Structure 1
Amino acid sequence: MSALVDRWMALSPNLRGILWVALSGLVFALLNVFTLIPARHLNPYTMAFLRYFFGALFLLPLVMRLGLARSLTTNRIGLHVSRGAIHTVGMMLWFVALPLTTLAEITALGFTGPIFVTIGAALFLREDVRLRRWLAVIVGFIGAMIIIRPGFSSLHIGVVCILLSTPIFSASNLISKALARTDSANTIVIWQNIVIVICAAPAAFWFWQTPSWTDLLWFLAAGLCGTLGHLCQQRGYQLADITLLQPIGFLSLIWNTLLGYFLFFQTPDVWTFVGAAVIFGSALYISHREAVRRAQIKTADSKASPES
């Protein structure tokens, strides 16, 4: 066992980060499967609450091992609470979309995340977004239109909810990446589960639907996959730059397409893959330009430093 650990630690941090995120994508694909079945008859408020309630149960052994104080210790509680509240809204929208669209379509439209990040940076952070990045945003938008094909296919509520949830999840992921600089993956995931359970509880109890025993088994499996997926993702974020990890997200389309096809007989059309390729190319370019921008800022700061 120690030999395997030594071989794992001998790998470069970037490679370990890539492998952690690749594993999280597979685990999240299984999460989609386990939540899709109860999502067909339970409302999104109940779904969001039970998904993270059972996820929190799987964190209890970790909290007991680390101790409550060590698990929750952070100097950035405001960011944790903000992220959890934001993620709750995105999760409820996502659960509305889940039974209405194919897993492949949900995943493909989710690749629009970097596009919304760029727009948000320009509108709210007043960042100087150059022409090439705006062109990449336009290309990504075209990719999304290829998938939903307004005027040629029905623009249903599921697609709208996915497009609304994607920028919300993007904001959550950016906050998560910022938290990873100071807090451990365990602390980030524990706070996420606590805040989401608290935020989702009022709506869940107001619109409560009692799940069956079979539903509870699906939520148990979903809670395990969700907790493991977030822990793997956070470890990846702490080891590698998020722009380097961006291409790994494309693997999620493969996992979700295969699982949707073999388990639920979901057959996405060719336009889903064409649009996904266009969106992914745009997202990859945006991530590349962001990496270049940060490198330029870092170089300029080092030259301006008196020590340089």
Structure 2
Amino acid sequence: MTEQNTRLGILLMVATTFVFAVQDGVSRHLAANYNVIMVIMIRYWFFAGFVCLVAARQPGGIRAAVATTQPGVQAFRGVLLSVEVCIMVAAFVLLGLVEAHAVFTCYPLLIAALSGPILGEKVGWRRWAAIGVGFVGILVILRPGFGVFSPASLVALTAAFCFALYGLLTRYVSRRDSTATSFFWIGVTGAAVLTPPGLWLWEPMSAGDWGWMAALCVLAALGHYMLIRCYEVAEASAVQPFAYLQLVFASAIGVFVLGETLDPAVAAGTCIVVAAGVFALIRARKRAQAGPQGL
């Protein structure tokens, strides 16, 4: 068993969020010039090879990684994640990194809200209050009714919902399957489901953009590897609040590299959502430590 090291876990989570933010910037560049599904398909081909390599190095090899008593749920998780990635990358193109990530930050609140009806978990009044405050923050970002709301924001909101559902299903399958098994299924299933439409929508890519594509594949594999190591050395509840740093890094890339602007309302709403999300994560951790009597 890997020795727990919370400080190392936090450092790995911070590094992971930075890598994923850079990955998002590269994804935005490629998706602005080529079909989104084709770009994500190529990324998933590399990702599938990566998960197969990881599985082959584990005890029992690929045969052990693929073994599951819930193949339907595992396959659905893989499809859902691949669809979410495509939707989110499309949101990067439509909204930019800053606003897309600002809307997407609501996914932990969606997980908290849906954990009751889907997983049967108890959600105390404090977490419900945090969920309510968080969605006030989303309204501040979207500003419906004031002539500023963009229907494109619904694209990022749809991605957040898909990712929240994926997170809940990941919790569900983890009750019987190992992390290695769940990791293997999302890589292979995603590649399988994206390949037919990706090949159908294939577009020639310039030599320079093939370089960016190679960078995207390496960044995706590196980010996932560091995330696995992060959860191996530290409890998820201890490091998860630091995942919000991806928003900070992605916004910095959007503003300073891609020339996007940071709207004051988007910044204010995002602060509200992040504060509510961190509070919900802290309450969930305290409840887990307190046992079934905790709120």
Quote the residue 2:22 is aligned against: 30
Per mean C-alpha deviation after superposition, the further-off stretch among 272-281 and 51-60 is: 51-60
Quote the residue 2:78 is aligned against: 84
CA distance in 2, matches of 1:237, 1:136: 25
Quote the residue 2:9 is aligned against: 17
Given that residues 96 and 158 in structure 1 are in contact (C-alpha distance below 8 angstroms), is that contact kept between their aligned partners in structure 2? no
TM-score, scaled to structure 2: 0.85
List aligned pairs for 1:152-171, cutoff 5 A.
152-171=146-165
Q: Is 1:285 the counterpart of 2:279 in the alignment?
A: yes
CA distance in 2, matches of 1:181, 1:24: 25
Q: CA deviation at 1:234?
A: 2.3
* Structure 1 residues 122 and 75: alpha-carbon distance in aligned structure 2, compared to 1, 3 A threshold: closer
Q: CA deviation at 1:65?
A: 5.5
SS of residue in 2 equivalent to 1:124? helix
Q: Is 1:47 the counterpart of 2:35 in the alignment?
A: no
Q: CA deviation at 1:181?
A: 7.6
Q: Is 1:146 the counterpart of 2:124 in the alignment?
A: no
1:200 maps to a residue whose letter is L
1:134 maps to a residue whose letter is W
SS of residue in 2 equivalent to 1:248? helix
Q: CA deviation at 1:186?
A: 5.6
List aligned pairs for 1:66-145, cutoff 5 A.
68-69=62-63, 72=66, 77-145=71-139
CA distance in 1, matches of 2:197, 2:84: 14
TM-score, scaled to structure 1: 0.82
1:39 maps to a residue whose letter is A
Per mean C-alpha deviation after superposition, the further-off stretch among 56-65 and 134-143 is: 56-65
Quote the residue 1:242 is aligned against: 236
Q: CA deviation at 1:258?
A: 1.7
Given that residues 119 and 172 in structure 2 are in contact (C-alpha distance below 8 angstroms), is that contact kept between their aligned partners in structure 1? no
Per mean C-alpha deviation after superposition, the further-off stretch among 129-138 and 219-228 is: 129-138
Deviation readout 1:71-105 (Å, 9 max, x if unpaired): 64666655532321110121121122111112122
2:131 maps to a residue whose letter is V
Q: CA deviation at 1:61?
A: 5.6
Per mean C-alpha deviation after superposition, the further-off stretch among 89-98 and 146-155 is: 146-155
Deviation readout 1:120-159 (Å, 9 max, x if unpaired): 1233344443332222111100111111212335433431
Per mean C-alpha deviation after superposition, the further-off stretch among 81-90 and 146-155 is: 146-155
2:79 maps to a residue whose letter is A
Q: CA deviation at 1:250?
A: 2.5
Quote the residue 2:289 is aligned against: 295
SS of residue in 2 equivalent to 1:156? coil
CA distance in 2, matches of 1:113, 1:271: 19
CA distance in 2, matches of 1:259, 1:121: 33
CA distance in 2, matches of 1:241, 1:11: 11
Identity of aligned residues (%): 25
2:42 maps to a residue whose letter is L
List aligned pairs for 1:205-284, cutoff 5 A.
205-284=199-278
Given that residues 176 and 188 in structure 1 are in contact (C-alpha distance below 8 angstroms), is that contact kept between their aligned partners in structure 2? yes
CA distance in 1, matches of 2:222, 2:174: 17
* Structure 1 residues 75 and 292: alpha-carbon distance in aligned structure 2, compared to 1, 3 A threshold: same
Unaligned runs of 5+ in 2: none
Per mean C-alpha deviation after superposition, the further-off stretch among 261-270 and 41-50 is: 41-50
Deviation readout 1:187-243 (Å, 9 max, x if unpaired): 544432211011112322343333333332222111111111112112222333333
CA distance in 2, matches of 1:294, 1:63: 30
* Structure 1 residues 178 and 241: alpha-carbon distance in aligned structure 2, compared to 1, 3 A threshold: farther
Report how many aligned residue pairs link the two structures. Answer: 292
Given that residues 93 and 164 in structure 1 are in contact (C-alpha distance below 8 angstroms), is that contact kept between their aligned partners in structure 2? yes
Q: CA deviation at 1:40?
A: 0.7
CA distance in 2, matches of 1:106, 1:210: 27
Q: CA deviation at 1:249?
A: 1.9
CA distance in 1, matches of 2:11, 2:167: 18
Unaligned runs of 5+ in 1: 1-9, 301-308
Aligned CA-pair RMSD: 2.9
Per mean C-alpha deviation after superposition, the further-off stretch among 155-164 and 237-246 is: 237-246
Given that residues 135 and 273 in structure 2 are in contact (C-alpha distance below 8 angstroms), is that contact kept between their aligned partners in structure 1? yes
